[in-house]
Amino acid sequence: MTISKTVRKKSSPVPVKDRAYSLDSTSKLSSTMQIPLVSVVEDLDEKSSSHLEVFQPNRQPQKIELGRKELIIGRVSECGIYLPYSNVSRQHARVFGKGEEFLVEDLDSTNGTFVNGVKISRCILRNNDQIRIGETRIQFVQRKFRV
Amino acid sequence: MAKSVSEKIYVTFWGTRGSISTPGSSTEKYGGNTSCVSLQHDKTTIILDAGTGIRNLGIDLFQQMKQNNTGLKLHLFLSHTHWDHIQGLPFFVPAYLKGAKLAIYGSPKKEAFLESILQRQMDVNYFPVEMNALAADISINEISKEKLNIGGLTIDWQEQVYHPGGCVRYRFTAGNKKVVYATDVELDKMFDQRNKTSKNKALQKEYLKFIHGADLLIADGQYTTEEYPTKVGYGHSSIPLVIETAYQQKVKQLAIFHHEPQHSDSFLDRLCSQFTQKYAAKKPPMTIFWAREGMTVPV
């Protein structure tokens, strides 16, 4: 039995002068103005934003910006989103940030928290997700920028 | 009377994609990681499959362990050993922790091979760390015909023949709550009207009985009706058939799982709205959702 052996041929290097550009010359192509990466990141971080749009029955829609602090949704007036309805638990759910994401978590409420119609215990939120608590609809809106 | 807390099962999806992981902005909502689901019942943690989604679960378990200062005792049930169901295992942090216990269960059809299959994917040619070097106390078990009890959960299973190489479906029962995990099966072949053999009829009956009345059925719904004819024999089901079969068997909630890699978030959104509303309006209604990474549902 003969075993044929494949030999990978080494490709001959392309002479520098034949390349479209050489590594030595890239500095000539770059901008003369240096932009520090850290300021780019900070700028994009400022542009990234997440908020909730709260639609309660017979009330004007409400916009709530989300930050690092957790937001409690419930029937007691101290809640970040105050829903004074009998089918809403005193502390019904919370929205909080974890890493780069926002999550909604049900706080063992009596009537449940729903995301896009599904009863959840916890859920990572994505742009345009609809949270439902009782008759209140809460839309999660996210504008994300990344480097 | 309110249901006892100990009956509740919390089901979390860590990987919902079928066949191959699909990272990217078009799959961010439903997720790009391959099959992995966890079940939490009281203090028992069950893991279903070890696709790439198990990596994030491992990180989460590790953080919980550090926070609560507790040990880890985990039970991993493998439906089968295709790549998309085992590939995340080498990246599962608890497997590297001394003192952690990981019991892996799989089909007896694999016989002694289950251990060697898992070991081989950690051969030095594929991965830098060999399975023998993992610090956790790992046991590999073939499931037997008898029902298994872990904590307050009873587990039974059946072989699903309509998947190349075979696959196992599992049922987890706690009190009167039932969760069925039945991924990677070609129901279109099982319910093919032309196949009237007694063997096939028995397989149909077994399946229907197994999923009947499930509080949550996690089911393979990889293809649309239009896609299926070009995918015959791949071992996956068409969505309308999965849904209608579940509805006929009085399944209360259906999670469509093992999403086709080519299906983007907006495509899955359209499928979701097409079927969800239709079955929510039926009497009795059935809740359908497309499983998405990072979602925990109470059962």
**Band of the pLDDT at A143, cuts 50, 70, 90?**
confident
| pLDDT confidence bin for A109, thresholds 50/70/90 | very high
* Chain B residues 29-88 within an 8 A CB cutoff of chain A: 29
Q: Chain B residues with CB inside 8 Å of A117's CB?
A: 276, 280, 287, 289
pLDDT at A11: 46
ipTM comes to 0.93
Residue of B12, B28, B289 lying closest to A126 (CB–CB): B28
Q: Which two tokens stand for residue B186?
A: 């070609």
pLDDT confidence of residue B3? 46
Q: Which of B29, B218, B266, B279 to mutate to test the interface with A (most CBs of A within 10 A)?
A: B29
Report yes or no: B293 at the A interface, CB cutoff 8 Å.
Answer: yes
Q: What percent of chain B has pLDDT over 90?
A: 90
- In the prediction, which pLDDT does B45 show? 97
What secondary structure, in 3-state letters, does chain B show? Answer: CCCCHHHCCEEEEEECECCCCCCCHHHCCCCCCECEEEEEECCEEEEECCCCCHHHHHHHHHHHHHHHCCCCEEEEECCCCCHHHHCCHHHCHHHHCCCCEEEEEECHHHCCHHHHHHHHCCCCCCCCCCHHHCCCEEEEEECCCCCEEECCEEEEEEEECCCCCCEEEEEEEECCEEEEEECCCCHHHHCCCCCCCHHHHHHHHHHHHHHCCCCEEEEECCECCCCHHHCCCCCCCEHHHHHHHHHHCCCCEEEEECECCCCCHHHHHHHHHHHHHHHHCCCCCCEEEECCCCEEEEC
Q: Does B247 touch chain A (CB under 8 A)?
A: no
A121 neighbourhood in chain B, CB within 8 Å: 10, 296-298
Any B CB within 8 A of A144 CB: no
Whether residue A102 is predicted with pLDDT greater than 80 in this model: the reply is yes
Residue of A nearest to B287 (CA): A118
Q: What is the percent of chain A where pLDDT is above 90?
A: 61
Q: Average pLDDT of chain B?
A: 94
CB-closest option in A103, A118, A124 to B297: A118
pLDDT at B129 exceeding the cut of 50: yes
Distance, CA of B159 to CA of B286 (rounded, Å): 26
Q: Residue A29: is its pLDDT beyond 60?
A: no
Q: How far apart are CA A127 and CA A129, in angstroms?
A: 6
Confidence of residue A33 (pLDDT cuts 50, 70, 90): low
Q: Any residues with CB less than 8 A from the CB of B267 and at least 6 apart, and which? A: none
Q: Is the pLDDT of residue B134 over 80?
A: yes
Across B152-170, average pLDDT: 95
Are residues B293 and A124, on separate chains, in Cβ contact within 8 Å?
yes
Long-range contacts of residues B119-123, Cβ cutoff 8 Å, at least 24 apart: B121/B86, B121/B87, B121/B89, B121/B90, B122/B89, B122/B90
- Range scoring the smallest mean pLDDT among A8-22, A103-117, B166-180: A8-22
When pLDDT is cut at 50, 70 and 90, the band that residue A48 belongs to is: confident
| Mean pLDDT, residues B203-214 taken together | 98
Q: Does A123 contact B at CB distance below 8 Å?
A: yes
Task: Tell me the nearest-neighbour CA distance from B28 into chain A, angstroms.
Answer: 8
- pLDDT over 60 (residue A68): yes
With beta carbons under 8 A apart, name residues in chain A contacting B293.
124
Torsion from C-alpha of B162, B35, B209, B205, nearest 10 degrees: -10
Q: Provide the pLDDT for residue B69.
A: 86
Q: Is the pLDDT of residue B57 over 70?
A: yes
Q: What is the pLDDT of residues B214-257, one digit of tens each?
A: 999 999 999 999 999 999 999 999 999 999 999 999 999 999 99
Size of interface A-B (CB pairs under 8 A): 36
pTM of the shown model: 0.89
Tell me which chain B residue has its CA closest to the CA of residue A112: B298
Ranking A33-37, B32-36, B51-55, B278-282 by mean pLDDT, the lowest is A33-37
User: Phi and psi at residue B63, in whole multiples of 5°?
Assistant: -65, -40
Q: Of A101, A117, A120, which has the smallest distance from its Cβ to B295's Cβ? A: A120
**Mean pLDDT in residue range B272-281:** 96
Mean pLDDT of all residues in B269-273 = 97
Amino acid at B202: A
* pLDDT(B125) > 50: yes
What's the token pair of residue B262? 């080519």
In sequence order, the 6+-apart residues with CB closer than 8 A to the CB of B121 are B86, B87, B89, B90, B127
Q: How confident is the model at residue A2 (pLDDT cuts 50, 70, 90)?
A: very low
pLDDT number for residue B130:
92
Distance from CA of B276 to the nearest CA of A (A): 9
Higher pLDDT, B29 or B112: B29
